[in-house]
Amino acid sequence: MLLIYDDFYLKHDAGPCHPESPGRLYAVINAVRNRDYGSSISFILPEAAKTQDICLVHSLKYLDMVRQLSRAGDYSNLDPDTVISGYSYDCAVLAAGGCINGIDYLLQGKKGPVKNGRVALKGMRKSFFALVRPPGHHAFNNRGSGFCIFNNIAIAARYAAKTGLADKIAIVDFDVHHGNGTQDIFYEDNNILYISIHQYPHYPGTGSASQTGSGAGAGYTLNVPVPAGSGEPEYLRAFDKIITPRLKTFEPGLVLLSAGFDAHRLDPLSSINLESGSYKKIISKLLKSSDAGIPYGIILEGGYDPPAVAQSALCAIDAFMEEKNAV
């Protein structure tokens, strides 16, 4: 597995006492570095995304606004929860770039044309984990929200399609909050399957089961809302009965995970009761639902209890490490 990280991500400052703090990512990277994965994991430093790649999802006008607000050096708000400060633009561009670097890694070793949405990859699973911030799944085409500035996973998906890695891409979002920005971006797209399991009702208020896509994208959005107080049994049942069957019928050539770890029982911003080990079980189910040639990308989203996020991220990595033929 390739891990993508830079200490520069710690420079994004949303203000004192803001939940989306550098400490959450610092806890993750320390935990990973202290775990002996040997040669199973390699690290790379990300590169900043190019403007044209960010504009696969976002308007140039919005990108320029974020840059100007950040360059001003003061605290500015995109919405009541989403703060821009001096390093925010550069961190957000680097976060999107890290996800693009992950897609470039998956492209290495690709052979032959895309067929039925799948790519031949030498019989083994390639994967990356982009340990980035700020997160992205609440960011829309022309506005940020919910701590998110640019929609990292949407940019990665559009970039993967543009480069020919896969013509059918699945995004599975298990952040406790519905990814309203990602859903909106792909709501009329039948080449991107968006699946979200999330606490409902909860912020941001979207994500009911009745929201299934529109136009050409009708049926290509799958929302699995779960009530407060739900835990591992409810989540595993949803993956067994709803999520993995839909993935199998879609037959994606690439799976991207919006990996928020805020459904953990210790998270201060949710009321779901997953354990750290629950994420290993969830990802193992996803991996078993697709053949070993289908690449995976994990992109960090939320999670606001740093020790819980760190242990959950390790469990996510462990799921890949224990799968045969993973690189």
Catalytic residues: 138
**How far apart (Å, rounded) are the C-alpha atoms in residues 96 and 153?**
8
Beta bridge partners of residue 145, listed in sequence order? 148
Beta bridge partners of residue 296, listed in sequence order? 127, 255
Is residue 134 reached through a cis peptide bond, with omega within 30 degrees of 0 on the bond before it?
yes
**How far apart (Å, rounded) are the C-alpha atoms in residues 235 and 261?**
13
Is residue 306 reached through a cis peptide bond, with omega within 30 degrees of 0 on the bond before it?
no
Whether 305 and 313 have beta carbons less than 8 Å apart is answered as no
**How far apart (Å, rounded) are the C-alpha atoms in residues 121 and 40?**
18
